[in-house]
Structure 1
Amino acid sequence: MEQIIENKINKISDSFTTYLPDNIVEIVGGYAFSLIMAIVIFLVGKWLAKKLTRLLTTVLRKVKGMDETLIRFLVNIVYYILMIVVLLTSLSELGVETTSFLAILGAAGLAIGLALKDSLGNFASGVMIILFKPFKVGDVVTAAGVTGTVNEVGIFNSIFTTPDNQKIIIPNGAITGGSIININANPIRRVDLLVGIGYDDDIKKAKDVLHTIVSSHEKVLVDNGITIAVSELADSSVNFVVRAWVNTPDYWAVKFDLTEQVKLTFDKEGISIPYPQRDIHHYNKD
C-alpha cells in the first residue's frame, strides 16, 4: 500500500516538473516582451514629445508679438497632451483596457475640477490675461485695489511691486473680475492741478502766472495744449484747473515740480492761497 502511494506521488511530481518550466518560460517570455515594448514606446514617445515641444517653442518665438508667458503655457499644454497619449499607448501594449482608464481619468478629473474650482477660475483668468493682454510686464497697473508695476503674469496669479517696493501676489480671478487701469499704456498723460486763490486777488494776473509756470517747464508738451481756467467759485477760494500734457514716464516728476513752482511763484507775486475760512456775522439785538 505504501509503495502504491509513493509511486502515485512520484508520478505527479514528474508531471509537474515536466510541464511547469515550459509554461513559466512561455508566460514570462510573453509578459517580458510586452513590458519591454511598453518601456520602449514610453521612452521613445517622451523623447519625441520633448523634440516636438522644442520645435514648437522655436516656431512660436519667431512669431512677432508673441508673449513669452503665452509661449510657455502653450508648450506645456502640448507636452502634457502628448505625454498622456504616450502613456495610454504604453498601457495598451501591456494589455490594460485604456477605455476603462479613460473613464476613471475623466471621473477623477471631474472630482478634482469641483474641488479646485477657484483655482480653475484663476487659471481661466490667466489665459484671458495672456491672450487679450490688458497689461504686460513692466506696466504700472491698478487692479483688484492694488497699484503697482507688473513683474510677472502667471497662469494662476500675477505679481506686482508697489511704489514702496512691496511684493503683492494677486489671483488672476480678482484681476479680471473688476476694472483694470493700465496707467502707462499710452505714451503721454495729462497732469491735472487744482489751484485756489483768494477772492481779493487778481484773476487775470493769477492766470498769466500759472500759464508762465506751466509753459516754461522743460518737460511739458506745450504743442499738445495747456488749459488754465476758472473751474469753481468755492467757499474759501477761486479755483483754477491747470492741465498740461507730458510723457508718461515724466508724470509724477512734473506734477510735483509744478505744484512746488506754483507755491513759490505765488508767494513771490503776492498771490494768496487761502486757508479754508468762513465768515461769521454776529447781530446784537439790543
Structure 2
Amino acid sequence: MTPHVSDILLEALAANAAAVNDEMAHLLPVPDGPERRVHDAMRYSALDGGKRLRPFLTVQAASLFNVSPAAALRVGCALEMVHCYSLIHDDLPCMDDDDLRRGRPTCHRQFDEATALLAGDALQSRAFEVLAAESTHPDPAVRCELVWQLAHAAGGMGMVGGQMVDLQAAQLTMDMADITRLQQMKTGRLIGFACEAGAILGKAPSSLRLALKNYAHDLGLAFQIADDLLDVQGDEMQVGKKLGKDADAGKATFVSLLGVEHARAQADMLAEQACRHLDPFGDAAHLLRLTARYVVTRSV
C-alpha cells in the first residue's frame, strides 16, 4: 500500500529531527565547573524537540546539489541554535513574557532570567563557531559566506530588527505592507537562510539560488499566516503555549487584517506559489513542495 504524501513528509521530518537532536547533543557538550548551569540551560532549550523545520529545509536544499549530508546537518544545527536562542529571549518577561514553550516551562522559568539570557547568548555564539569550523566545509569562502548570511538574517536588519518592530506593533498603525515586512524580518529571514544555505554549500549557480530564495520568501509568509491562524483557532494543549496574545495586546496580524477565510486562502496561494519556484529542480524537490503545503495545514 502506497503511503499518503503527508506520511512521507512526516516520516522525513521525524528522521531529520532525530538526526538534528543527536548532532545538537554532540555540538553542545556539558563541561564541569560552575559554568555548567548555563550549558544545562542551553541544552534544555535546544534539545527540547520541535519540528526542526529550518534544519530540514537546509538539508533538503543541500541535497539538490549533492552536498554532504553531514555538512548540511551541521549548518542546519547552527541555524537551529540561533532559532532556539531567539525563542529563549522572546519568552523573557521583558519581551513576550511566556511561561510555556512546547508544553514545558520556558528557560527563564526552569532556571532564572539571568541564566536564560546567558544561555541565549551562548547558543548564538556557538552557532557561528560551528559555521566557521573547517569540518563544516573545506572551502573557507563558503564558510565565510555562511557566517555573513546568517549574521545578516539574524541581526538588526533581520530577526532582531523584526522583533523590535513587533514589540512596538501594538502602538503602531500597521497595514498589510507593514505586517509583511515585519514578518519577513522576524521569521522569513531565517527561513530564507535555511534554504539558501544549501545552495551556498553546493556552490550553486545564481539562477538556482534565486529559485530557492523565492521559494523561501513565499514559504515564510505562508508559515507566518498559518501561525496567526493557529493563534486564533489553535488548541493550546497541542501548540504548547498560550494563544491569543496578539489579539489581547491589540496587535495587527494577517488574520486581523484579512479575516480567517481570506488569510487561509492567502496562505494556500503562497504555498502553491512557493512550489512553482521549485520547477527547475523537478522531482528532486518533492519534499520541499510537500513542506510548503504542510506548513499551511499544520495544527502545531
Higher Rg: 1
More helix by share: 2
With the shorter chain as reference, the TM-score category is: under 0.3
TM-score by length of 1: 0.23
State the structure with bigger RCO (CA 8 A, min sep 6), 1 or 2. Answer: 2
More strand by share: 1
